[in-house]
Amino acid sequence: MPGVRLALAQLNATVGDLPGNERKIADAIAAAKEAGAQLVLFPELAITGYPPEDLLFKEHFLAAARAAVDRLAALTDGIAAVIGFPERDDDVYNAAAVCSGGEVVGVYRKLRLPNYGVFDELRYFQSGTEPMVVEVDGVPVGITICEDIWVPGAPLTEEALAGARLVVNLSASPFSAGKAMQRERMLAQRARDSLCAVAFCALVGGQDELVFDGSSVVLDHRGRPIARAPQMAEHLLVCDVDTDAPAAARLKDSRPRATLRVERPRVTHLPPIRTGATITSPSPEHRVGGELFEPLEELSEVYAALVLGTRDYVEKNGFGQVTFGLSGGIDSALVALVAVDALGADRVKPVTMPSRYSSAGTRSDAERLAENLGCELLTLPIAEPMDAFDAVLAETFASRDADLTEENLQARIRGNLLMALSNKFGWLVLTCGNKSEMSTGYSTLYGDSAGGFAVIKDVPKTLVYRLVEHRAHRDPQNPVPEEIVTRPPSAELRHEQRDDDSLPPYDVLDPILEGYVEEDLGRDQLVALGLPAADVERVIRLVDLAEYKRRQMPPGIKITPRAFGRDRRLPIVNRYGG
Amino acid sequence: MPGVRLALAQLNATVGDLPGNERKIADAIAAAKEAGAQLVLFPELAITGYPPEDLLFKEHFLAAARAAVDRLAALTDGIAAVIGFPERDDDVYNAAAVCSGGEVVGVYRKLRLPNYGVFDELRYFQSGTEPMVVEVDGVPVGITICEDIWVPGAPLTEEALAGARLVVNLSASPFSAGKAMQRERMLAQRARDSLCAVAFCALVGGQDELVFDGSSVVLDHRGRPIARAPQMAEHLLVCDVDTDAPAAARLKDSRPRATLRVERPRVTHLPPIRTGATITSPSPEHRVGGELFEPLEELSEVYAALVLGTRDYVEKNGFGQVTFGLSGGIDSALVALVAVDALGADRVKPVTMPSRYSSAGTRSDAERLAENLGCELLTLPIAEPMDAFDAVLAETFASRDADLTEENLQARIRGNLLMALSNKFGWLVLTCGNKSEMSTGYSTLYGDSAGGFAVIKDVPKTLVYRLVEHRAHRDPQNPVPEEIVTRPPSAELRHEQRDDDSLPPYDVLDPILEGYVEEDLGRDQLVALGLPAADVERVIRLVDLAEYKRRQMPPGIKITPRAFGRDRRLPIVNRYGG
């Protein structure tokens, strides 16, 4: 029995862009044929982008998606293709069209629908019921979609038992730090458990709060990666798979046989496909496997996700330039670095908006950073509007001391100025708040949080520092003035202000937040981890109280296992403390 | 066989307020006993409030809820109680504790979990598998929770077939206009189909974007309402049910018997309960039934929902006063009326913020309305901050004409002033944008949309007019100056501005929005309804483009079948037009 040459089209689809996505898929089919592939794979819902959310409630959207799949199927002459799309039949299914010889020869329906974290698939889809195997040039191939493979058992196990030598998975798997390798380890275990090769073809690109990191990979039946696409970029990964080896391995490894004895779903077998592709692999002339890109290490991976998420939000929404307040602090420095790497310096328009509380140090650091990055820096002082607001409010506030009100006013004047630039020039406003601030409400609603995209909203402050240092030292000529990293953090909204007047030090705060926000630990559990009880209680209260602010924050890139937004859904009216 | 006296505790639970909710439930148990009830019912998840959302991911929260239920069970001496709570066992269930004789004698688990519209129950709960019947003083009573009864079939049918004369339903059913009567008609059909009495006990109160309207009701086996609680208010509804009549009816009506022949789930029968309650009903001395409040008519119902939603958001979040911009237009007039009805005039602090574009007419209307309502009106002119912003931006904007930028700046200055009042005095800022504006993006982000609660964000403009007229004429001395209703709508951000410069007339716009936003109709379907094609295309484009703005809007009260927020989930990056 021969092997098979695969092409995995790791595409950056855009939600709702049916013509654009169709074009990309058509191009990839052509390129895969050119590369001699017998089977080309596409990501989950490649035709619509992922997640299409409530677009799936529109009959005309579903009909248009289906029409695109039929047109693409017509291109599958001399190759088989598996394309993710929403299938409208008696109900709606998250499906994969198996196309060959110019037509759709079968449709696989995702069995396992995720409805946790950022996923709401049970809102939209009916589950499929049958695993599916299709023979491509004599090689039995099992089909699965994303979540199907995250849970042991059906459909993968059934497909392997029904003879599949290779199981393919069409995926749209959102990034969080370290997830790509965790995912690959899981896939390796599935391959080993069922003694079949696994080809994982993933979406790449930013979509609102999510980044899809790609990380498509092919593993042999022993779980060893034999081809891997780069992370965070489009790629057509071509790979030759030895499909005799899994069959041979099963002769001597009887573990999967035991599974045969329990009651299992029926497996659909499609009619065999003959692609007539010119190359049947592996052949003596070429090796099993394909390109094998190294996975990114921890900080590079997160940084690359921020760059990709920012670039795609800007470009997919059709913006030319971005703007933001460059304060001379660490947060806006990170946003500046990311924005320049994402878009190029000429599309990045930082603004310094000094007040009487801005130190000479932060101002000159902002200027040096902008200069080092090659960005033009606008200066808009806020003293005049501050005085004007003070005058309007003087009578009403006559008997009251200055307090947070006046600090917030400064932040809101800055927000207004950035929004005015946005209105006048069409620039997208980026915000610079980090996750530690987002969690504790240490920000001004409509002030520093005003903008269209919150680049680092899911990045804890301690990680902000690490990312800036990482990026700074990647450059032979470090563009980041040393003081930006070493100066104690301050909002500079009153004299001598420091973040740690209001918050625990960040190396205490961030572990509390990780436990409370990402792991749902309670007060007692956090204290048992060795965190200071008084800080734990204060932070829990701050996080709970800030829910109303977070509800009005712009979207930003998820990089942790639980971001704010659709990933963490808490009521505003909530009297439960902790 | 005797009848049974029920008490339906239509409670206003607060999410997360376990001690407060426990107290309310304990009080209602005592009151029900005092009224001679044998069985007292509570709403779905009464102990936690609904929806608790991701609080359900906290083990300590679930444990505390269970402890509260156990304490409440100890109070069920001489009465049976059915209390909604989240049960933590092998998994988490949306459950009802059947309590009697001082303990929890059984737990019913909701079979049907809604995961559509505003509901995400499959994110949190495992489904139950068994219908349940419990005999209370000789009367077989079936138990269901909310969604269980919205779908024909199990568990209600099974419980009736297993002998239940009465099926109770614990509910938390979010309001939309007209839903209470639609729900009652559905319940009546269930009663008729299964020939059993139905007692529907519902949550009441506001929770973030949702209002629960109550509308608890008891229907006899012919579907006739025999007791009904008032809408939008807490109430203990006591009702005597004749449970011989359903049994007698089944002798001569064989329809339900046919259902027996299909394969059905096993029904759990709890051990019989003897309450020893002093009254066994119906007795010769008192009639079947109980208080029967009339349902509210259309406009009264929506208005009452706005009042309840506003009051609960303010009070459950612990605010004393509210503030908002009172422009002299129809939208802020409605917000003023609602706020005063919800909180009393002394807690309502409207502000007029005139600019050079404010007409004398709107200013004096705002003053008269505030005076008529008995509210103090603050005046904060915005000319000075406008000039200051113009000065700061003069150089940067030198070569550009005035445009939307300058209009937005005015709105944002007003937003800043309201937020300054909020910061200084702790007032909650209400926003006054209606659904027509929210849909089309006809509002300024961080300007008129800045605030904590968007009272009328789900009220289309045409309905705003009807509600103001309705409320105005309810008062013998109409507090609303006539011009507020008759003047053409304007944002007053430039000279002679009118809404219909930018938007189709509202009587064209609102039907397009209803079709597009609430019913997912496409362009062609809307045009087929007789709506003007050019307007349809423009409005679809406006709605799609404004998604980014809506994502940053404050929460507001859902009154339509599909509100913005968790009810309608669309991507921001979305290239699908329509």
List pLDDT tens digits, range A324-381.
999 999 999 999 999 999 999 999 999 999 999 998 999 999 999 999 999 999 999 9
SS3 string, B383-436, reads HHHHHHHHHHHCCCCCCCCCCHHHHHHHHHHHHHHHHHHHHHHCCEEEECCCHH
Query: Predicted confidence band at B286 (pLDDT cuts at 50, 70, 90)?
Result: low
Q: Cβ contact (<8 Å) for A120 and B116?
A: no
For the cut 80, the answer to whether the pLDDT of residue B284 exceeds it is no
Q: Cβ contact (<8 Å) for B571 and A17?
A: no
Q: Can you give the pLDDT at residue B1?
A: 42
Q: Cβ contact (<8 Å) for B520 and A54?
A: yes
B416 near A CB under 8 A? yes
Cα of A203 vs its chain's centroid, Å: 10
Contact B149, B169 (CB under 8 A): yes
B518 near A CB under 8 A? no
A59 near B CB under 8 A? yes
Among residues 429-468 of chain A, which lie with CB inside 8 Å of chain B?
445-446, 450, 452
The arithmetic mean of pLDDT across residues A494-522, rounded, is 94
Q: Cβ contact (<8 Å) for A446 and B554?
A: no
Residues of B in contact with A380 (CB under 8 A): 392-393, 396
Tokens of B156: 């209600």
Residues of B in contact with A525 (CB under 8 A): 60
**Which residue in the block uniquely carries the two structure tokens 């001391």?**
A401
B356 near A CB under 8 A? no
Contact A404, B423 (CB under 8 A): yes
Element (H, E) at A379: strand A378-379
For the cut 60, the answer to whether the pLDDT of residue B77 exceeds it is yes
Which residue among B61, B115, B123 places its CB closest to the CB of A576? B61
Q: Can you give the pLDDT at residue A2?
A: 61
Q: Cβ contact (<8 Å) for B385 and A392?
A: yes
Residues of B in contact with A411 (CB under 8 A): none
**Would residue B44 show up in a list of annotated catalytic residues for this protein?**
yes
Contacts of B67 (CB under 8 A, 6+ apart): none
Distance CA A110, CA A93 (A): 7
Q: Can you give the pLDDT at residue A1?
A: 41
Contact A33, A41 (CB under 8 A): no
Residues of A in contact with B548 (CB under 8 A): 317, 452, 554
For the cut 70, the answer to whether the pLDDT of residue B282 exceeds it is no
Most confident of A208-212, A242-246, A496-500, B282-286: A208-212
Q: Which of B33, B87, B99, B110 is catalytic?
A: B110
Contacts of B300 (CB under 8 A, 6+ apart): B470
**Which residue in the block uniquely carries the two structure tokens 């086996």?**
B221
Distance CA B488, CA A85 (A): 48
Contact B502, B442 (CB under 8 A): yes
The arithmetic mean of pLDDT across residues A478-507, rounded, is 92
Distance CA B533, CA B545 (A): 18
**Would residue A315 show up in a list of annotated catalytic residues for this protein?**
no
Range scoring the smallest mean pLDDT among A378-387, B168-177, B252-261, B467-476 = B252-261
Which residue among B412, B552, B571 places its CB closest to the CB of A208? B571
Residues of A in contact with B574 (CB under 8 A): 15-16, 55
B412 near A CB under 8 A? yes
* Of residues B284 and B122, more confidently modeled: B122
The sign of the torsion formed by the CA atoms of A343, A345, A347, A351 equals positive
C-alpha triplet B366, B369, B371: angle, nearest 5°: 105
**Which residue in the block uniquely carries the two structure tokens 């909020």?**
B422
Residue from A312, A386, A445 whose CB has the most chain B CBs within 10 Å, to mutate = A445
Return the closest-CA partner of residue A450 out of A308, A298, A323, A273: A323
Give residue B94's identity as a one-letter amino acid code: N
Query: Predicted confidence band at A156 (pLDDT cuts at 50, 70, 90)?
Result: very high
Q: Can you give the pLDDT at residue B334?
A: 98
Tokens of B340: 């005063």
Q: Which of B146, B239, B375, B432 is catalytic?
A: B146
Which parts of B110-196 are beta strand (E)?
132-136, 139-145, 166-171
* Smallest Cα distance from A44 to chain B, Å: 17
**Which residue in the block uniquely carries the two structure tokens 């402890």?**
B67
Most confident of A535-549, B242-256, B282-296, B490-504: A535-549
Element (H, E) at B508: helix B506-513
Distance CA B90, CA B107 (A): 14
A383-393 and B404-425 helices cross at what angle (nearest 10)?
Answer: 60
CB atoms < 10 A from the CB of B11, how many?
26
Distance CA B229, CA B8 (A): 9
The sign of the torsion formed by the CA atoms of A448, A451, A457, A461 equals negative
Look up the pTM and report it: 0.95
* Smallest Cα distance from B120 to chain A, Å: 8
C-alpha triplet A243, A244, A246: angle, nearest 5°: 75
Contacts of A474 (CB under 8 A, 6+ apart): none
Q: In terms of CA atoms, which chain B residue is nearest residue A58? A: B520
> In order of start, what are the domains of chain B with their CATH numbers?
4-296 (3.60.110.10), 299-499+546-550 (3.40.50.620)
DSSP conformation class of B347 = G
Q: Can you give the pLDDT at residue A282?
A: 52
Residues of A in contact with B573 (CB under 8 A): 14-16, 206-208, 312-313, 316-317
Q: Cβ contact (<8 Å) for B392 and A417?
A: yes
B22 near A CB under 8 A? no
CB atoms < 10 A from the CB of A185, how many?
10
Return the closest-CA partner of residue B153 out of B303, B49, B258: B258
Give residue A356's identity as a one-letter amino acid code: R
Q: How many CB pairs under 8 A join A and B?
A: 234
Q: Which of A24, A110, A349, A457 is catalytic?
A: A110
Q: Cβ contact (<8 Å) for B573 and A524?
A: no
First to last CA, chain B: 60
Which residue among A115, A389, A397 places its CB closest to the CB of B416? A389
Q: Cβ contact (<8 Å) for B389 and A53?
A: no
Element (H, E) at B139: strand B139-145
B391 near A CB under 8 A? yes
Q: Can you give the pLDDT at residue A286?
A: 56
* Smallest Cα distance from A68 to chain B, Å: 14
Q: What is the pLDDT of residues B442-470, one digit of tens each?
A: 999 999 999 999 999 999 999 999 999 99
Q: Cβ contact (<8 Å) for B408 and A420?
A: yes
* Smallest Cα distance from B246 to chain A, Å: 37
Residues of B in contact with A415 (CB under 8 A): 412, 446
Distance CA B509, CA B503 (A): 8
Residue B182: burial class (beta carbons within 10 Å; 0-12, 13-18, 19+): exposed
A522 near B CB under 8 A? yes
Query: Predicted confidence band at B280 (pLDDT cuts at 50, 70, 90)?
Result: low
For the cut 80, the answer to whether the pLDDT of residue B496 exceeds it is yes
Distance CA B256, CA B196 (A): 11
For the cut 70, the answer to whether the pLDDT of residue A278 exceeds it is no
Residues of B in contact with A576 (CB under 8 A): 15-18, 55, 61
Indicate the SS3 state at residue B93.
strand
Distance CA B445, CA B148 (A): 41
Contact A452, A428 (CB under 8 A): yes
Q: What is the pLDDT of residues B188-216, one digit of tens each?
A: 999 999 999 999 999 999 999 999 999 99
B469 near A CB under 8 A? no
* Smallest Cα distance from A257 to chain B, Å: 30
**Which residue in the block uniquely carries the two structure tokens 């209009």?**
B407
Tokens of B362: 């709107």
The percent of residues above 90 in pLDDT, for chain B, comes to 89
For the cut 70, the answer to whether the pLDDT of residue B544 exceeds it is yes
The arithmetic mean of pLDDT across residues A291-315, rounded, is 97
**Would residue B537 show up in a list of annotated catalytic residues for this protein?**
no
Indicate the SS3 state at residue A304.
helix
Q: In terms of CA atoms, which chain A residue is nearest residue B385? A: A388
A283 near B CB under 8 A? no
- Tell me how long chain A is: 578
Q: Can you give the pLDDT at residue B475?
A: 87
Range scoring the smallest mean pLDDT among A442-446, B2-6, B300-304 = B2-6
Q: Can you give the pLDDT at residue A146?
A: 98
Among residues 98-137 of chain A, which lie with CB inside 8 Å of chain B?
115-116, 120, 122-123
Residues of A in contact with B312 (CB under 8 A): 573
Query: What are the beta bridge partners of residue B413?
Result: none
Tokens of B198: 């139905």
Mean of pLDDT over chain A: 95
SS3 string, B268-321, reads EECCCECCCCCCCCCCCCCCCEECECCCCCHHHHHHHHHHHHHHHHHHHCCCCC
* Smallest Cα distance from B44 to chain A, Å: 17
* Smallest Cα distance from A406 to chain B, Å: 8
